[in-house]
Structure 1
Amino acid sequence: MVQDTIAAISTAVGEGGIAIIRMSGDNAINCVDLIFDSKKKLRDADSHTVHYGHIVHPVTGERIEEVIVTVMRGPRSFTAEDVVEINAHGGVIAVKKVLDTVLELEGVRTAEPGEFTKRAFLNGRIDLMQAEAVIDLIRSKSDRAFSVARKQAEGTLSKQIKALRGTVIELLAHIEVNIDYPEHDVEAMTSAYIREQCQAAIGELDRLLKTANDGKLLREGIVTAIVGRPNVGKSSLMNMLTQENRAIVTDIPGTTRDVIEQFVTINGIPLRLLDTAGIRETSDIVERIGVERSRNALQDADLILFVLNHNEPLHADDRLLLEQLQGRSMIVIVNKTDLPGALDSEALMKFVPKGQIVRMSMAEESGLDRLEAVIHDMFFEGELEANDMTYVSNVRHISLLKQAKQSMEDAIEATYTGIPIDVIQIDVRSAWESLGEILGDEAGDSLIDQIFSQFCLGK
């Protein structure tokens, strides 16, 4: 159990109705009693109660702020320690005065980034997977991403990993008994039995990994590059998707000189939109830099929205870029359908299937529903319901699940080659350790520190 008392502002900096200063530690309640002027001492208060009073200077007795203080005694608190939350008026000066007063108390220090959640993990209230879900909750860009993170924070996915790990440890126990007492042939420990148990574990790992692509996209967003020749409506599409004038729109080709980035949610799916400069040969040095950045953005994109004009034939630059993008996840958007047509649809379908062509009019704001449907069908199999299914979304978790699967496959392969059972045990134990690293049971201090350093102060 961590003994020292930590404190930090847990709400966003700036003006607001309420700001919260959070404290945690064995001595948190007694510390606040030294600066809290109220009818009742907090040390005598019941857990999970709220108290009105004033923060006063511990030496001069000067009133600093009118506050509401909440007491939560461990282990029934977020950190499993005694926690005190001071609710003050929002505003930079008021909050700073209260925090400075708290930090003047002996034994109280500023919390490190993520230290409250880290203490919850170290004190056994949550596992590492649940702790990482907390930051996913904060960073959620859509309702579905939030739902996925919430289920992970509640431990839904952790329970499945723990159950799978329990199955693996049972297999390990049988192998070790067979090694120690070979004359008993416990549980008929044969190669066939090992293969059966490993295959069952692989089936569960495959089920979890099947959700990984969808989960990762929900967590991080689909990196979506909007590309095309100058003046085809790329910036108009950006503004239509974001419902704001994020990009400058003119009739002058080459207006967009750099990559503009914006997050947007379409039908519950987060997209990280990259509005790129029009791709063409140009002598303008600034535009040429923008075109080069556009080409770089294409390399990192999960999805490419290729914009063409309905009232223009396919240009040589269009054909060249379409050829270069073969095999990529791409949707061709035929813009300006409100104007007379000049685009050869048959020529276009030589590059992309008909189902990946969406006809739109930015001027009339039509075709957006169709675009949403195509994006959904392209990236997500079946109906995407975060409330009904647990998704693996964290890259670290996905990597460790794959490692566990590989170890199980190695164990199966070893049974066919006559490798001794004590060597096979190493592969099975490796799978068990990989699963434990997801939960934090096998995680080293450096990994734990790296994970919690990503959190904000006060969380």
Structure 2
Amino acid sequence: MAETIYALASGGAKAGIAVIRLSGPSAGEVVRALTPGAPFPAPRRAVRRVFRHPQSGRALDDGLALWFPGPRSYTGEDAAELHIHGGRAVRAALLDALAALPGCRLAEPGEFTRRAFLNDRLDLSQAEGVVDLIEAETEAQRRQALRQAEGALGRRCAAWAERLMRLAAHAEAWIDFPDEDLPAESRDRNEFEMQQLEAELTQEIEGSVRSERLRDGVRVAIVGPPNAGKSSVLNRLAGREAAIVHARAGTTRDVVEVGLDLAGVPVVAADTAGLREAADEIEAEGVRRARAAAAAADVVVCVAAVTDPAAPALWTDARAAYPEAAVLLVANKSDLLTQDAAASGIGGAAGEPVLFVSAQTGAGIEVLVDRLAAAAAEAAGAGEEAGLTRARHREAAAECLAALRRARRAPSPDLEAEDLRLALRAIGRITGKVDVEDLLDVVFRDFCIGK
């Protein structure tokens, strides 16, 4: 980190304003070189400056300079921002000027946040939250990413680590100081605390799938027999002609996916081939893919035409076939029946709550969207506190849990202590903070060693 890095922080599109970010030991000298003769900016105050080429002295732009002395900056280093006009030529001129300065180089992807982590301004989970915040496309994704970027997951991991550290310190004390007057009830307290922590981690790991769904998108599969109107329902949900619609049955042969934003929850809705005995090998492959998409879905929308006498059996089978998913039963083409006939017809015969819609007229689609949004929010755990949002988090937590369970069954204090150290190291990998030296502080705080 001896070099000063710079990058265009505002993206490459033409805009009214562009921001160039600097960080490193020479950031202050860079600002002086670009604004010769001008007073140096006061910390964290925007000042108007004419930026000039450091070699030729020619004016490049008239903008704003901001100075962030370390360690009170995003990276923890001396940092600066140049707010300039967002035209391509202006951006190129400033970047060329920076490249001409000794000790300056273009930043690598993620390098500003990497330096923030290395300088203890962020933990790893916060850094991942920053990435997720930038990539968030829905309101629920934004809320989850913001909680993580603000350190919600890091604080939970720190609390778990503190408890593991205390448990390990107590186990170490029983090994290293067997003749001291240690509290006899500490072993029982350790056992109780390990049970509590094991239950919490188990619940957290089981719930991590929901956080990952919110980050990656809830999978929704639209299934049903041919000519039930599945593609028309998808087009209504998408608000555009995303899938081909034709009166001939079997038009859809492959899985057609569309990204949706339902009440802030990201959804990937998949239209699938009609489920029936295939007429040829191409249709057979489409049916196979349809069943695979439904099996992997978090929400299954089972569509049948109101005129289909097999609809009740189809819906009953759908409930049984996808027990892990939320299943919504949809009777399409309701415009072919009167409301009274629909209410007393296949919906009642199926013995299931059925949503009557018409993809042709749009009737009932708003209710379907509301029900689908609620099911997606439930599947994604939208509104819950920040949890384990990545496979990396889940794997580290699972490793911690496995070590904790071994510690509970350990036949000797030394093996118990070793497994507790492994559990502590595993949970520390989520945030990137593992300091076994802190064990000593806990030992001396909780026990009067050598009294």
Q: Which residue of 1 aligns with 2:419?
A: 427
State how far apart, in whole Å, the 2-side matches of 1:36 and 1:291 are: 67
> In 2, Cα distance between the equivalents of 1:301 and 1:193?
43
Which residue does the alignment assign to 1:188? 184
TM-superposed CA distance for 1:136, in Å, is: 1.3
Pick which of 26-35 and 258-267 moved more: 258-267
Aligned pair partner of 1:40 in 38, 62, 69: 38
Q: Deviations over 1:394-413 (max 9, x none)?
A: 33222322322222222223
Deviations 1:137-190 (A, max 9, x none): 122232122112111111122122212211111111111111011122522266
Q: CA deviation at 1:203?
A: 3.8
CA–CA distance in structure 2, aligned partners of residues 286 and 88 of structure 1: 57
Amino acid at match of 2:3: D
Residues 1:401 and 1:102: Cα distance change in structure 2 (over 3 Å): same
Q: Secondary structure at the match of 1:177?
A: helix
The 2-side partners of 1:146 and 1:347 are apart by 43
One-letter identity of the residue aligned with 2:131: I
Q: Please report how far the alpha carbon of residue 33 of structure 1 lies from its aligned counterpart in structure 2 after TM superposition.
A: 2.4
Q: Does 1:334 align with 2:326?
A: no
- Taking structure 1 as reference, are residues 390 and 328 closer, same or farther at Cα in structure 2, changes over 3 Å only? closer
> Cα 1:86–1:317, aligned 2, differ >3 Å: closer, same or farther?
farther
Tell me which of 104, 122, 133 is aligned to 2:129: 133
**Who is 1:455 aligned against?**
none
Distance 1:433 1:59, change over 3 A: same
Q: Distance in 2 between matches of 1:316 and 1:288?
A: 24
Which residues of structure 1 form unaligned runs of 5+? 444-459
1:439-450 → structure 2 map (5 Å cutoff) = 439-442=431-434
For the Cα contact (< 8 Å) 2:400–2:424, is it kept in 1? Answer: yes
CA shift at 1:333, angstroms? Answer: 1.8
CA spacing shift, 1:243–1:53, aligned 2, 3 Å: same
Give the superposed CA RMSD: 3.3
- Partner residue in 2 for 1:18: 17
Q: Is the 8 A contact 1:178 1:185 kept in 2?
A: no
Deviating more after overlay: 198-207 vs 14-23: 198-207
The offset of 1:26, in angstroms, is 1.2
Q: Which amino acid aligns with 1:205?
A: L
Deviation at 1:242, TM superposition (A): 2.6
| Cα deviation code 1:97-120 (max 9, x no counterpart) | 322221222111121111111111
Report the 3-state secondary structure (helix = DSSP H, G, I; strand = E; otherwise coil) of the residue aligned with 2:90. helix
Q: Structure 1 pair 8/359, CA: closer, same or farther in 2 (3 Å)?
A: same
Deviation at 1:24, TM superposition (A): 1.0
Between 1 and 2, higher relative CO (CA 8 Å, sep ≥ 6) is seen in: 1
TM-score by length of 1: 0.82
**How far is the alpha carbon of 1:389 from its aligned partner?**
3.4
Who is 1:361 aligned against? 358
Amino acid of the structure 1 residue aligned with 2:33: L
Q: Residue in 2 aligned with 1:172?
A: 168
Structure 2: runs of 5+ lacking an equivalent: 436-451
CA 1:225–1:326: 2 relative to 1, 3 Å: closer
Closer, same or farther: CA 287–204 of 1 in aligned 2, 3 Å: closer
Summarize deviations over 1:232-252 as a string: whole Å, max 9, x none.
222322232233333344434
> Do the aligned partners of 1:305 and 1:332 also contact (CA within 8 Å) in 2?
yes
**Inter-partner Cα distance in structure 1 for 2:305 and 2:144:** 39
Match of 2:156 in 1: 160
Whole-angstrom distance in 2 between the partners of 1:59 and 1:81? 26
Give the whole-Å Cα distance in 1 for the aligned partners of 2:101 and 2:334. 69
Residue 304 of structure 1: aligned partner: 300
AA at the equivalent of 2:228: V
Which amino acid counterpart does residue 53 of structure 2 have in structure 1? H
Q: Which TM-score applies when normalising by structure 2? A: 0.83
Structure 2 residue 146 is matched with structure 1 residue 147? no
Give percent identity, aligned residues only. 32
CA distance in structure 1 between the aligned counterparts of 2:73 and 2:298, rounded to whole angstroms: 41
Q: Distance in 2 between matches of 1:389 and 1:240?
A: 33
Residues 324 and 203 of structure 1: CA distance in aligned 2, closer, same or farther (over 3 Å):
closer
* Distance in 2 of aligned mates of 1:280 and 1:53: 71
